[in-house]
Structure 1
Amino acid sequence: MIYTWPSPAKINRFLYITGIRPDGYHYIQTLFQFLDYSDTLKIIPNQKGTIKLFTKKKSLINIKNTIIIAANLLKKKALLYKKTNSYNLGATIFLNKKIPIGSGLGGGSSNAATVLIVLNKLWNTQFTLKELALFGLEIGADVPFFVMGNTAIGEGIGEILYPIKKKEKWYLLVYPDIKILTKDVFSSPCLTKRKSKQSIKQLLKLNFTNDLEYIVTKKFTKIKKLILKLSKYAPSRITGTGSCIFSEFQNKQSAKKAFLLLPKNTKKIIVKGTNISPLHSLIYKRKNISY
């Protein structure tokens, strides 16, 4: 039995704001790209009914942690839909945190999705992926993407997904050690929106950009300087609302050259893009993009 599971990172290869809902959420169009770079979760089920989280970063162990929220949510749904005697469902979860918090790489949403998928299997609650994605939306707008497991165009608030298959490129990730809260970016008075949505065909023809980058770089000059430096070697921008910058390369060798040109104390890593979530590749043995 496998007990340790990947909880992969993502980047937003582009992100455009197309409107705002009455509740304050923004409508977007984005290209979610999975990365072969992950947190890992060791998940051991039990019949004691208790859910416990352990990690080296003690500050992460709290009721707002998406891992705890996701496990309790699945228990609640299992009881509601009479899937099993959910009162006895429990798990001990060990988190090995590699994805920086506030980086825009989706660590919290990914953790929640991994818990939903894995505990659905280990608890034998037998929900479909689409049902799990719907539950995940109660936790965060990006969670459905991680649940469904395909590189995809995201619309709505990010929950409407159109799976696509793109060439799997290489990325140099640079983390400036700055934590940015999503709510702070979306509440900025500097935030503007595009006039209208575009078709997927049109989106894929555009030069990819991030509408939120202006807000982030205006506040954090360190990020702006890093983007300018990295842009000398490859297309570079922030991902999501976070501080992490990614530079896109056709091959690993080109990424290594840029990697070596950065100062040694820079937090950086070279990773590969992947069309299928590493978790889906492991748990479902998936090699295609069909749901």
Structure 2
Amino acid sequence: MQKEPLVLPSPAKLNLMLHILGRREDGYHELQTLFQFLDYGDEMRFAVRDDGVICLHTEFPGVAHDDNLIVKAAKKLQQQSNCPLGIDIWINKILPMGGGIGGGSSNAATTLLGLNHLWQLNWNEEQLAALGLSLGADVPVFVRGHAAFAEGIGEILTPVDPEEPWYVVLVPQVSVSTAEIFSHPLLTRDTLPIKVRPVPKGNSRNDCEAVVTELYPEVRKALNLLGKYTEAKLTGTGSCIFGAFPNEASADKVLHLLTDTLTGFVAKGSNVSILHRTLQNLSQETGTRYS
């Protein structure tokens, strides 16, 4: 059993497009979206405990310890695997809450994969993704770790390999409520499904964008400013805005021009999650499977 703390990345994601096809009887929405990861995110540290206690040492303002998705993920895995061990967890949190770049879902997935390794559970990806879905619709894509075309509520995943450009991501200083956007009466809910794979160019819009920019002027401002340099889009339900560039230098140049009034970062798009690359390297070093 590994006693040294395990340090893992918890990457951001982008929704390169997001179409809402309709609302289901259970209140969830049928959608089609294209997920890609960024080589940028939070850093999480895990240390095994022998007493079965799960403790997240990093406080999240306004979120009780047991309500945090990280703790919920750890407890669910512990219960369903009947594991007697516990865990200490710390996180260097840099991804914004309510940003549409998957911070909470990514943290939950990193927790599941990290504990599966540390507790030596030998759960496979299917089992971990199924547990992840019970925590949130975006968790399975982070568990699986490959860029994907997603359908259903986001859980039916088909691996894809879009281009991997550099991105400028702007972070308006607002937290957008996903529930607020998906319940808004003006949200588009009747987009026709895409049949072609990969997603054809020109079908890359985000159906949430009109409502979010109406409700949040800061998001509209970021969209307009980045849109002067490249096609700018909303990711998820926001608030983050992103645009693609052919190389790091051109992305850095544009971000530098915008940071007088906006916060943001530059990151490389990646079709294989940096979390999975890290775990793969770890498994090669130790001779173990990571999922």
User: Which TM-score applies when normalising by structure 2?
Assistant: 0.92
| Residues 13, 208 of structure 1: 8 Å contact kept | yes
- Alignment partner, residue 78 of structure 1: 81
Q: Deviations over 1:152-197 (max 9, x none)?
A: 1011000000101122101111111100111010000011223431
Q: Deviations over 1:258-282 (max 9, x none)?
A: 1122142521111110110111001
Which secondary structure state, in structure 1, belongs to the residue aligned with residue 44 of structure 2?
A: strand
1:43 aligns with 2:53: no
Q: Deviations over 1:129-154 (max 9, x none)?
A: 11100000000000000000001101
1:1-291 map, 5 Å: 3-55=6-58, 57-79=60-82, 86=83, 88-201=84-197, 203-285=199-281
How far does residue 43 in structure 1 lie from its aligned partner after superposition? Answer: 0.4
| Structure 2 Cα separation of the partners of residues 68 and 201 of structure 1 | 37
Which secondary structure state, in structure 2, belongs to the residue aligned with residue 204 of structure 1?
A: coil
| Structure 2 Cα separation of the partners of residues 93 and 200 of structure 1 | 42
| Residues 55, 61 of structure 1: 8 Å contact kept | no
Which secondary structure state, in structure 1, belongs to the residue aligned with residue 65 of structure 2?
A: coil
How far does residue 38 in structure 1 lie from its aligned partner after superposition? Answer: 1.1
The letter of the residue matching 1:39 is: D
Q: Between 265-274 and 53-62, report the one with greater CA deviation.
A: 53-62
Q: Deviations over 1:192-213 (max 9, x none)?
A: 2234311242633334110000
Query: Structure 1 stretches of 5 or more lacking a match?
Result: 80-85
How far does residue 230 in structure 1 lie from its aligned partner after superposition? Answer: 1.0
The letter of the residue matching 2:40 is: Y
| Structure 2 Cα separation of the partners of residues 124 and 258 of structure 1 | 45
Q: Deviations over 1:224-265 (max 9, x none)?
A: 122112111001011001211111111112212211221425
| Structure 2 Cα separation of the partners of residues 265 and 198 of structure 1 | 37
Quick one: structure 1 residues 90 and 104, their matched pair in 2 at CA, closer, same or farther if it must change by over 3 Å? same
User: Which TM-score applies when normalising by structure 1?
Assistant: 0.92
Which secondary structure state, in structure 1, belongs to the residue aligned with residue 67 of structure 2?
A: coil
Which secondary structure state, in structure 1, belongs to the residue aligned with residue 107 of structure 2?
A: helix
| Structure 2 Cα separation of the partners of residues 195 and 283 of structure 1 | 38
Query: Structure 2 stretches of 5 or more lacking a match?
Result: 283-290
Which secondary structure state, in structure 2, belongs to the residue aligned with residue 9 of structure 1?
A: strand
| Residues 5, 48 of structure 2: 8 Å contact kept | no
Identity level (%)? 42
Q: Between 212-221 and 52-61, report the one with greater CA deviation.
A: 52-61
| Structure 2 Cα separation of the partners of residues 252 and 212 of structure 1 | 28
The letter of the residue matching 2:206 is: N
- What is the RMSD computed on CA atoms of the aligned residues? 1.7
Q: Deviations over 1:40-79 (max 9, x none)?
A: 1100011210000011545445222110000000011102
| Residues 59, 65 of structure 2: 8 Å contact kept | no
The letter of the residue matching 1:16 is: H
Q: Between 126-135 and 250-259, report the one with greater CA deviation.
A: 250-259
Aligned pair count reads 280
| Structure 1 Cα separation of the partners of residues 153 and 16 of structure 2 | 16
Runs of 4+, deviation exceeding 3 Å: 56-61
